[in-house]
Each structure stands twice: as structure tokens, then as C-alpha cells.
Chain A
Amino acid sequence: MTVQGTNSAIRVGASILRDYLVLVMIAALVALTALIEPKFLSPENLTNIMFQFGPLMMVALGTTFVIIGGFIDLSIAGTINLVAVVTISLIQPMGQVPALLTGLATGTVCGALNSVLILSSGALTQAEALFMTFGLSTVYSAIALLYSHGSTMHFWDITASKSIFQAIGSGSLGFLSWSFVIFLISLAALWVFQEMTAEGRAVRLTGGNKTAARLAGVRISRSIVVIYAIGGFMAALGAIVLFSRVTTASPVIGVGYETNAILAVVVGGTTLKGGKGSVLRTVMGVLLVVLMSNCLNLLGVSTYLQVVAEGAILTFAIWLDNRKHM
């Protein structure tokens, strides 16, 4: 009996380990880094991390729903490029609030456009969505390049008030950065959407089984538009946080965000098969990705080895996560 008891305890332990694998990895990473480089836990560094995960977090939160809904979005990079150059260029002529709103609208429209093309073609598989949004990303990037003539725009070109963007970029509310506050608000809103609204449930059902959902009267077309629009909106928010942080916007500012976002979502434990997942898991995934780069920087690991380590840890995390579904 005792042997069996220990066995089952081990089994329970192992399953917790697997379920919260990302947390375990984060803890290990934090412990290791703190041991070697005590400055890791300094308030300055914690502030750093808070600022650093802003843009990727926004983007990944949006991507979560696209993946829960059983689709994928590679157009994020293009959307970020476009939103960044459009928004920054409009601050001067339109004023900051209209520019902000136009930027968010642009992102949402890009997202909605993805879904419209996907729906109109009847492309209901992930692969079709993958390549279609890949093409659209190229198109959005090209529009951003055409719009900006390939040049970078800076804050000090803007004489009009840009206080909102400056606040988002580097301002703080108490000990929390504004970007962190925006993150908390978006997380709360998206969590409520995911857990408590009918549309959130519809998205999940769509991801679980499109045909069954449709035959039960779920409006899957609307769900698809909603997930891509959220994806686009959050990408726009990410773009705004991003260029506010660095105070400049170039038409290639979003390069790499789409794959990083998908990686973060999947590492967090949202499955690409659709139907399952959560924005909370995504938060953990992003935390791991951002912490990894922060830790490796502090440990003085070269950029090149960082990429190796990142790839290895992500591959390992995905592999382990997969083991638990087997």
C-alpha cells in the first residue's frame, strides 16, 4: 500500500510538473540567474522586465484567441509595421488622441480583413489561414513602406503634444509602468471575454469543432471575424506600446513578432489544434520568452548563444508539453 501511495504521489507530482511546466521552467531560470547574478532581483531589473515584455505580451494575448479559435495569424508583423508608421505620422496633423484611435482602428481593420478573405474563400483549415496571412503580412508591410517611403519617423519630429505616447513609453503610475497597466487592463478584459462571455465560448467551440458548432447554431463566421479583429487590435496596441517605448517607428519595426508571439502562446500551453488554451497561459509563455533573454543578457551570454539557447529551450518546452497530451 505504501509503495502504491508513493507511486501515486509521484504520479500526481509529475502531472503537476507537466501542467505547470512553464512555471517550473520560469522558476528554475529565475533561481539560476539570481544565484549567479544577484542583480537580477534588483528593483531596476524588475522594472526593466516590466517594460520589456510590453509589446510582445500585447501581441501574444491577441494571437491566443486566433489559436484557440483553431486558426493562425502570420500577418501580425505587417500589421505592426503599418500601425506604427501610420500612428506616429498622424500625431502631428491629427493630434494624439485621433492618431491613437486611428492606429487601433487600422490594426483592427487589418485583422478583420484577414478574416474576411479567409471567410470569403472558405479557407477553414489552419494551413490555408497560415499562408494567406503570410501573404497579407507582406502586403501590409509593403503598404507601410509605401506610406513611409521607407524612412523612420521620430518623436522629435512631432511638435504637437504626444504626452500619451510618452507616458505609454516610459511613464509610470506609482510603481507600475503605464504599459504594464495597459497590459493588466487588456488581460482582464480578454480573460473576461474568454471565460465569461458568450462570444468567448463561441470562439472556443469554433476551435473545438467548426462543423458541430455551426450545426448547433453558433455563428462561426462571426467568431472568426472576432478573433482576427482582436488579434489585429492587440497587434496595434503592441505596435503603439513598441514605438512609444523606443520613440521611433520604422516600417520594419514588427519583424519577427509573429513567430515570437506564436511561440510564446504555444510554449504557454495553448494547443495549436484549437479549442483549448487561455490568455493566462500565454502570460506565462511570454514571461518565459522575455525572462530568458533578460537572464541570458545578465549572465553575459553572447547574442548568438542566446538564440541557440532560446531555440533549444522552446523546442524542449514544446516537446515536453506535447508529452503530456500523449
Chain B
Amino acid sequence: MARIRKAVLIGLVLLVVAAFGVSAQAKVKAAFICQNMANESQAFSEKQFMKYGADFGLDMYTFDAKGDSQVESQLVMNCIAQQFKVIFLNPNDINAIVPSLMQAKRAGLIVGMFSSDLSPANQKYRDFYAGSNDVFAGKQAAEAFMKHFPNGAKIVEIGGQAGHDAQIKRHDGFHSVIDSSNIKVIDYKACQQWSTEQAMAIMEDDIVKYGHEIQGVFVHWDNGATGVIQAAKAADLKGLYIIGIDGNRAGYNQVLSGEQAVSISQDFVAMAKKDMELAQKVVKGQQVDPINYIPLNVIDKSTIKNFPVPQW
């Protein structure tokens, strides 16, 4: 018993020692608070910050909010306590993060939003924003449908994780455009997780219900599109016009093979670089544009050759 306890203690102490050996002296201490490292697009973004941080004179650290709004606001507090100069964050919930950002501003931190921006009323609590915004992605998807079906069509929409920021924005952006068109969304369902299997199950059930009525599918994420494609294949339903968002390897390959019509991609590399560039300027005391849109890439059969193979 005593031996075990001792071992645990020694282990923990070693861990502590190892950890502070790592912490080097800072240039400008900056932190990226990642939405959820278990989500691959977010994990990819985190890698970009780590990779290019030094180029912008930043000593980058990353934290993981684990998809939890409360953890995320705690991490902001944590960064204040650790006297970070700059924080970048991609909020799980743009409203829930505001109270902690108020504190961050009061403590004098430079706050940069990544990928999604605060609502206009709260934008005073951040310095700048770089991103392409899921609302736009949703709008782009709607426009792509309208372009492909000028005479109207019946489509279904399959949402990402219910209540998740990206799911909400993609859905809202999509509907802000599609609702005024002649394209009819005959069914909409969100998933309980970003689960390919759930997207597939919903699609299967939709196929049973609507069969060949369905002409197109808007699915909130490319990995979900994988499930939709599998469901369509199994039911031998050809010629579906499928649009997904992300532009990751799944989306890229599916567009390449013709199974998916369009993948709308956010350029996380450019987004991260832009965010850090802005931070560098603010640190130097220069004025920056508060809102910086990174253009979305609409990857389809005709444009795919212009894009490199995505790294995630």
C-alpha cells in the first residue's frame, strides 16, 4: 500500500518537473483556445497555430475547451492568470464566452476571434476577427443549390451536432438564403453528435420516406456526407446533388470521385496566419481592421484542380 502511494507521488512530482522544464521563456506569450481537440478540423487549426506561431513572433500555447462552453470560459480565466498577452479563440458558443472575455479585456489581453465572430453588440470585447464564418458557408451552400437547380428542387438537410455553434450557423445561413428561393427543404434533422453513422441513419430513413423525390442533400459536414453517400449507394439512388462543408480530405476525395457535388472549405491555414499577423500588429501598436474575412473555397468538379490536397 505504502509503496503504491509512494510511486504515485513520485510519478506526479516527476510529471510536474518535466512540465516546467518545457515552459521556455516567452517572446509574446499567446494562447489558442481550441474549441474541441477531438474534432478534426479544430485539431488541424491548432496545428497551424503551433506551426506558424514563431513566424509572427509569438510564443504559442494551446488549450482545449473539449467542446464545453464552461471549460472554455475557464480557460480564458486561466490565460489571464498565466499572464498571456494574446489569446485566440474559436468559441463553442459566441454568447457564453462573452462574460469571460469582458474579464480578459479588463485584464488587458489582446483577444482575437478565430473562425467565428461575436455578435455585433459584443464585438467590443474582442480586438479582431479572422475567419470565414459558418453563416457564410451555409449561404454559399444555398447559393450552390440555387445555381444547380434554377427551376427549384426538393432537398433534405442533415445537421451536425444539435446545439453546436457550427451546426446552428450553417443551418441559419443556409435558410437565410434558401427560404426565399424555389428550392424546398422537405426534411431537416440534426444529429446528436457529429456522427457519420447518425447522418447515414437519417439519410436511410429519408430515402425510405421520400425515395426519388430527393434531388439534393445539404449535409453540414463532409464526414457526414460520407454517410449520406453510403446510404444513397446502398439504396441505389443515383444523381443526388450533395453539398457538404469543410473541404477536408473526405470532401475533397468525394468531389474528386464525383460522389459529392460541392464541398465548401474554410482555409484554416490562412485563417490562423491572419489571426497571428493581426495580433503581431496590435502588439506593435498598429491599427488593424477588426473584421477580416477569409474567402471560402467552393470546391466542385470544375475548380478542384485549383486546390491542393487538404492536409486534414
Contacts and interface: CB of A to CB of B under 8 A. Distances in A.
A133 B277 CA distance: 45
A255 B193 contact: yes
A298 to B, nearest CB: 6
B192 A44 contact: no
A152 B311 CA distance: 12
Contacts of A294: 201, 205
Given A39-B209, A42-B208, A293-B201, A250 B250 contact: no
B163 to A, nearest CB: 9
A40 B233 CA distance: 20
Contacts of A245: 197, 200, 230
Contacts of B250: 152, 154, 248
A39 B226 CA distance: 25
B191 interface: yes
B235 A256 contact: no
Contacts of B253: 154, 156
Given A150-B38, A245-B230, A247-B230, A307 B192 contact: yes
A44 B207 contact: yes
Nearest to B67: A252
A4 to B, nearest CB: 49
Interface string B192-232: 11111100111011111100000000000001001100100
A151 interface: yes
A152 B208 CA distance: 29
Contacts of B205: 45, 48, 294, 297-298
Given A156-B253, A297-B205, A302-B189, A170 B233 contact: yes
A307 B235 CA distance: 27
B312 interface: yes
Contacts of B187: 300
Given A149-B43, A300-B187, A154 B208 contact: no
B196 A248 contact: yes
Contacts of A247: 226, 230
Interface residues of B, number: 40
Contact of A51 (B226, B234, B312): B234
Contact of B192 (A151, A250, A251, A303): A303
Given A44-B235, A300-B187, A303-B191, A152 B38 contact: no
Contacts of B257: 156
Contacts of B159: 303
A73 B235 CA distance: 36
A100 to B, nearest CB: 19
Interface in B219-272: 223, 226-227, 230, 233-235, 248-250, 253, 257
A52 B196 contact: no
Contacts of B249: 154, 157
B40 interface: yes
A48 B195 contact: no
Given A154-B249, A253-B195, A304 B204 contact: no
B162 interface: yes
Contacts of B195: 253, 255
A117 to B, nearest CB: 13
Interface centre among A152, A293, A302, A307, by most B CB within 10 Å? A152
The residue in A42, A150, A245, A253 that gathers the most chain B C-beta atoms within 10 A of its C-beta is A150
Interface of B: 37-40, 43-44, 159, 162, 187, 189-197, 200-202, 204-209, 223, 226-227, 230, 233-235, 248-250, 253, 257, 312
The 5 closest A-B pairs by CB, nearest first: A150-B43, A297-B205, A246-B196, A45-B208, A48-B204
28 contacts: A42-B208, A44-B235, A45-B205, A47-B234, A48-B208, A141-B38, A145-B37, A145-B38, A150-B37, A150-B43, A152-B223, A154-B250, A156-B253, A157-B249, A170-B230, A246-B196, A248-B226, A248-B250, A251-B38, A252-B193, A293-B201, A294-B205, A297-B202, A297-B206, A298-B208, A303-B159, A303-B190, A304-B190
Interface of A: 37, 39-40, 42, 44-45, 47-48, 51-52, 55, 141, 145, 149-152, 154, 156-157, 169-170, 242, 245-248, 250-253, 255-256, 293-294, 297-298, 300, 302-304, 307
